[in-house]
Structure 1
Amino acid sequence: MSAALSDTLVELRYGARRVLLAPHVGGSIAAFDEIRDGRSIDWLRPATPTALAARDPLGMASFPLLPYCNRIRDARFRFDDALVDLSGDGNAFAHALHGNAWRLPWRVGEVSESRACLHFSHEPSKAAAHHWPFAYEATQEFALDAHTLTVTISARNLSDRPMPFGMGHHPYYPRTRNTRVHAHVAAMWHSTPDLLPTHAGAHPCVDAMASKEGMSADAFDLDNNFAGWSRTATIAWPDEGRAITLDAETPFDHMVVYAPASHPDLLCVEPVSNVADWVNLDTDRAMKGGAVLKPGESVIASFAWTTRFG
């Protein structure tokens, strides 16, 4: 299949396993599930028909984060001695959020039974969602097999000047009273009430995630970035005898955990390359992440979800 815009779902299959992609909803994953013993098992929270009809990325199973992850304070930052103002990009949040690729359609490229490729191109303009002043292109490649769903993201700066850049994915997992999160991180970024990072330091959740039992998804009220992530995390449902492990390559060196007390049905454990507001943070690059792509420079990295029972 040649690259084209599509408003239909793309289905990948491998045995009893299935992935649904929604290219028209920000290049999102709409579902990742499988049939086992006659019943459907959701590895990611599936999109509802309502979310699909509304083309709401926040209602998908997972969506891409490009060309930056999380928030940018007041939708403004300085780069190369110039002000970058994103306040008119149509993002309905006080602070610019997650870039623009999640709010625009992606083109469908090559598709086979268990693999697919989605493409995205951005050219700056004054239109909503196009205020990012750097041209770039991106690709997501999805590969499903008997145990793993692998996602490979690539991006290239098409501008004639350097471009600040970050990337990631925003998965939602089924959250129950027994859901546990296992991960090793060095520190948690503490935040302001409107979720902008202030400093990285200790928090009880750091030790809880590293413990043998893992952290209960209900233990803390979290919407935080984590530094010094080992690039692997497991979400487990021990009462159901199953778990899914996220493994990521560099530069996905940071992790976000979203487990809000106000919404006990929501749980995100996200691989990202930069912490929130990294372009405004005056701290070491290793702690905040992010990159600068030279004109024509590309970046490519993969992450994968591996599932298991027992």
Structure 2
Amino acid sequence: MALMRETPERALRDGMVRQTSCYPLIPYSNRIAQGRFSFEGVEHRLALNFGDHPHSIHGNAWQKPWEVMEADEAHCRLVLVHRPEGDEARGWPFAYRAEQLFDLSPAGLTLTLSLENEDRRAMPAGLGLHPFFPKRPGVRLQFAAERVFPNGEESLPMDAVSIPSDWNYRTMRELGEPRLDNCFAGWDGMARIAYVEERIALSIEANPLFGHLVVYVPTGRDFFAVEPVSHMNDAINRPNPTVHGLKVLKPGERLTAQVRFRVEILS
């Protein structure tokens, strides 16, 4: 059985990234309000890259072709080099190099993401991963976090609050229909998805860089997402963005982090 959402052939043929099993969030996660931010005294305006959605979303790496540098049955390395020239500057105004490294083993998958600042200036930076999972009957979820950011108008986060009972998955329980599309802070880097009827589980183990977790459970759909990310939604527009997980990379500096997916047979 598939433990991640299967990608339709049509999605591969037509480049429909949001219908794939997983894609990277580089060089930032989730939304930047109205595609605008200020960094080191310079105002930047990004392309609104998701139809009529009013914000820039998930960076630009998920919408660009990556080069396959190495590949065999158990290993793959993808590279993306971004240069902010012409219209590309609307995707992201800083030069960077990103890599995705996939390593399969009998126990599961390890995915390593890296982002290097190749600009002459410092740049704000973040990493994230957007895997989708099948929402089968009886699927269960478990993860622990300290607080959650409720969304206000236009899907932007308000101040963090204690996690309400409907969104509390500290103890393994049925996923249900919690109407979640929110970022959790103080995540401990562990999550677990259990398909009880099929007697199989998938654990997610993320490096400490991923101190936030976005959980997306759309109502009435056959999938959900559990997304390890480095920072809160729209962190770049907060008064102290680094407090909320956003990093600042000097020229030549790099962020690297891993997410491990491990398979377990339930007794």
Normalised-by-shorter TM-score class: over 0.9
Query: 1:103, 1:129 within 8 Å by CA — same for their partners in 2?
Result: no
Q: Quick check: 1:302 aligned with 2:258?
A: yes
Give the whole-Å Cα distance in 2 for the aligned partners of 1:129 and 1:284: 22
Residues 72, 125 of structure 1: alpha-carbon distance in 2 compared, 3 angstrom cutoff? same
TM-score (norm 1): 0.82
From 48, 69, 77, the equivalent of 2:29 is 69
RMSD: 1.7
Residues 245, 252 of structure 1: alpha-carbon distance in 2 compared, 3 angstrom cutoff? same
Query: 1:100, 1:130 within 8 Å by CA — same for their partners in 2?
Result: no
Deviation at 1:133, TM superposition (A): 0.8
From 249, 259, 263, the equivalent of 1:293 is 249
2:73 is aligned to 113
Equivalent positions of 1:245-264 (< 5 A) are: 245-261=203-219, 263-264=220-221
From 175, 199, 212, the equivalent of 1:241 is 199
Q: 1:63 is aligned with what amino acid?
A: Y
1:269 is aligned to 226
1:216 is aligned to 174
Residues 82, 196 of structure 1: alpha-carbon distance in 2 compared, 3 angstrom cutoff? same
Residues 253, 106 of structure 1: alpha-carbon distance in 2 compared, 3 angstrom cutoff? same
Residues 248, 205 of structure 1: alpha-carbon distance in 2 compared, 3 angstrom cutoff? farther
2:102 is aligned to 142
Listed one character per residue, the Cα deviations across residues 92-142 of structure 1 (whole Å, up to 9, x for unaligned) are: 331000000000000001122211100000000232575311000011110
Residues 133, 167 of structure 1: alpha-carbon distance in 2 compared, 3 angstrom cutoff? same
Query: 1:89, 1:127 within 8 Å by CA — same for their partners in 2?
Result: no
Q: 2:198 is aligned with what amino acid?
A: E
Give the whole-Å Cα distance in 2 for the aligned partners of 1:284 and 1:55: 33
Give the whole-Å Cα distance in 2 for the aligned partners of 1:129 and 1:307: 40
1:278 is aligned to 235
2:189 is aligned to 231
Q: 2:97 is aligned with what amino acid?
A: E
Deviation at 1:91, TM superposition (A): 4.1
From 13, 34, 58, the equivalent of 1:98 is 58
Give the whole-Å Cα distance in 1 for the aligned partners of 2:12 and 2:184: 31
Secondary structure at the counterpart of residue 264 of structure 2: strand
Equivalent positions of 1:110-189 (< 5 A) are: 110-127=70-87, 130-189=90-149
Secondary structure at the counterpart of residue 220 of structure 1: coil
Deviation at 1:53, TM superposition (A): 2.0
Q: 2:263 is aligned with what amino acid?
A: T
Listed one character per residue, the Cα deviations across residues 66-85 of structure 1 (whole Å, up to 9, x for unaligned) are: 00000000100111011110
Q: 1:259 is aligned with what amino acid?
A: V
Query: 1:91, 1:129 within 8 Å by CA — same for their partners in 2?
Result: no
Structure scoring higher RCO (CA < 8 A, sep ≥ 6) equals 2
Give the whole-Å Cα distance in 1 for the aligned partners of 2:144 and 2:113: 24
Give the whole-Å Cα distance in 1 for the aligned partners of 2:33 and 2:55: 5
Query: Which ranges in structure 2 are unaligned for 5 or more consecutive residues?
Result: none
2:152 is aligned to 192
Give the total of aligned pairs: 265
1:80 is aligned to 40
Deviation at 1:237, TM superposition (A): 1.0
Deviation at 1:281, TM superposition (A): 1.7
Instruction: Report percent identity of matched pairs.
Output: 34
TM-score (norm 2): 0.94
Q: 2:232 is aligned with what amino acid?
A: V
Give the whole-Å Cα distance in 1 for the aligned partners of 2:241 and 2:38: 17
1:8 is aligned to none
Farther off after superposition, 107-116 or 68-77: 107-116
